[in-house]
Amino acid sequence: MQAKNDLLLRAASGQLVERPPVWLMRQAGRILPEYRALRASVSGFLELVRTPELVCEVTLQPVDVLDVDAAIIFSDILVIPEAMGLPYSMVESVGPRFADPVRTAADVARLRIAHPEDLAYVTEGIRLTRQALNDRVPLIGFAGAPWTLMAYMVEGGGSKTFSHARRMLYMAPELSAVLLDKITDGTIAYIQAQVKAGAQLIQLFDSWAGVLSPSQYREFALPRLQRLCQAVPEVPVTVFAKDAWFALEDLAQLDCAVIGLDWQQEASVVRDRIGNKVFQGNLDPCLLYADPAEIAAQTRRMLDSFGNPHIANLGHGVYPDTPLDGVRAFVDAVKAYRY
């Protein structure tokens, strides 16, 4: 059945569209009062992620409240490490934490390859959401890129430098390759299960691409991203590699339909360097704190710079304390735009 609003899928496939589709990374989250109320009623973030009915409810909230052109399944990239046998906790105002980070060959050997059955709560959430959406808008599935997952698993949490993880690439490249391949194998099965359950586009988040050197990114990250892109030929794939300006030409060679851009990259420059992809992005998330008129003006300027087709989004996830009026001003400005 064709979605009632298929702007995202048409734009992602490279078709000219009447206006850009718009959605926001982290649109299902703390910017919405509905989400905060639901979160307060449960034990915490991980209970939400692991309960398919709640996953469905949270995923639908921004579609209902903001009238965005796509839903993205409410989940977390770190469900893969957990399914590999590396549990994590989500510390309020701090972020994810792994009590036993991966540092040795024995640590890597103990990890299993994630199996879709271990992540059935995600795929069941996708099935419930597709049914509840009734094809109003497309549903996006997602996963973390192997390098970004390795970075968290080795570091033990977030970091400005990810020096432990980067050190492993230099000091134990063969062990690093084994870990990355284990992550990749499980992630392939995971995104294939998401598509089978009803995801209509897959986004790969390489959030920490920018901490690697160009040579390391080409050796360790890009080949595994390519394997992921090739694993789901039935649906478009978006690759969002934050701060990877140094690898744009390499990213353009991936079998993905869309490249997500962070807010520090200019459309005209990127288009000159790689013109064979659809771009997604890339408004500065901090702009959403500004006056609604300024948000609308800057949004129109961004849309003019990208041309048709283009998927409107932020250059990173929406910040938790972003005013809802700012988010609405952005979404409304995109929806009022016409090519």
Q: pTM of the prediction?
A: 0.97
The domain 30-281: what is its CATH number?
A: 3.20.20.210
In DSSP notation, 27-62 reads -SSTTSHHHHHHHHTSS-HHHHHT-HHHHHHHHHHH
In the chain the beta strands, taken as DSSP E runs, fall at 71-72, 89-91, 95-97, 139-144, 201-206, 237-241, 258-260, 278-283, 311-314
The predicted pLDDT at position 248 comes to: 96
Active site residues: 26, 30, 39, 76, 152
The C-alpha atoms of residue 310 and residue 140 are separated, in whole angstroms, by 16
Tell me which residues of the chain have a pLDDT lower than 50. Answer: none
Q: Domain-by-domain residue ranges, the chain?
A: 30-281
The predicted pLDDT at position 2 comes to: 63
222-231 vs 146-155: helix axis angle to the nearest 10? Answer: 120
The C-alpha atoms of residue 312 and residue 315 are separated, in whole angstroms, by 10
In DSSP notation, 223-245 reads HHHHHHHHH-TTS-EEEEETT-G
The predicted pLDDT at position 1 comes to: 53
